[in-house]
Amino acid sequence: MSILIDKCTRILVQGLTGHQGNFQAQRMQAYGARIVAGVTPGKGGTQSLGVAVYDTVAEAVAAESIDATIVFVPAPFAADAMLEAAAVAVPLIVCITEHVPVHDMIKVREYVRMQGCQLLGPNCPGLISPDKSKIGIMPNHVFQRGATGIVSRSGTLTYEVAFALSRKGIGQSTVIGIGGDPVKGLNFIDILRLFEADPETENIVMIGEIGGTDEQRAAQYVQAHVSKPVIGLVAGVSAPPGRRMGHAGAIVSGGADTSAAAKIEALRACGLRVADHPEQIADLVPA
């Protein structure tokens, strides 16, 4: 098993005929992802990468069996693309687009929940189940099939950690980048819950960063509900106090202590093993 996707997942690409959508869809296909349709308004009735292109998601869903969609749509239109997919109840919506306005995402997240769909992103690299399928922009060559699940706020660290694990022969069950925006779909706790229920996943790696309190809440959830070993990593240890950095979700501001040190302390207090750097994670994963 894997979580959220497998080799049978039928995928729609919103923005398939655009430069980035087409470029990344080719790499998804090369990995074995089952792309069955695309959507680009005004391009309906054409074909791209061997699949039919439709004007709307509703038309694609009516013609094809769709399990998931990936959104490669510019930021001003990304919210509408997600809402369009949720309106016809596409089960999993993955949005790669960055710079989606926060006020747009507040509306999108609520509507997606009302429709009973799952949303990953925005501003995320997507997800991959090694040797099965990929929905996103993760580099194909760094992953290896195995029993360690990875969930991360940072795209680049996701790849670095997976590569370090693979080099030591530690494969991954599913790797998920949830994105770093303050308002997004699936969060750490959502993914931890899925990994805990997945018989293929034996260990979990959780990669956080400065800003917000998602890591602290996730650590408390692990302590109360997760029986599998969880290894943590928090980026931003050397960040100057009070400095605004990186992702919109990594803004350091008043209120709760959102520093890397505070997060690391919270993770350790809840029983997580915490790595000092990405390469060390492979040494902390149980044999």
What amino acid positions are annotated as catalytic residues? 247
Q: Which residue has the tokens 């996701």?
A: 158
Q: At 47, is the secondary structure helix, strand, or coil? A: strand
Q: Residues near 102 by Cβ (< 8 Å), separated by ≥ 6?
A: 181, 182, 183, 248
- Backbone dihedral region for residue 192 (phi beyond 0: left; psi -120 to 50: alpha; all else: beta): alpha
Q: Which residue has the tokens 């370090």?
A: 164
User: How many whole angstroms separate alpha carbon 133 and alpha carbon 141?
Assistant: 13
Contact criterion met (CB below 8 Å) for 14 and 70:
yes
Closest C-alpha among 95, 173, 170, 97 to residue 130: 173
Helix 214-225 and helix 188-197, axial crossing angle in degrees, nearest 10: 20
User: How many whole angstroms separate alpha carbon 206 and alpha carbon 195?
Assistant: 11
Closest C-alpha among 200, 229, 230, 198 to residue 215: 230
Pairing of strands 126-129, 172-177: antiparallel
Buried b / exposed e over 166-185, threshold 16 CB at 10 Å, is beeebebbbbbbbbbbbbbb
In this structure, what are the phi and psi dihedrals at residue 135, rounded to the nearest 5 degrees?
-125, 95
Contact criterion met (CB below 8 Å) for 157 and 116:
no
User: How many whole angstroms separate alpha carbon 125 and alpha carbon 108?
Assistant: 19
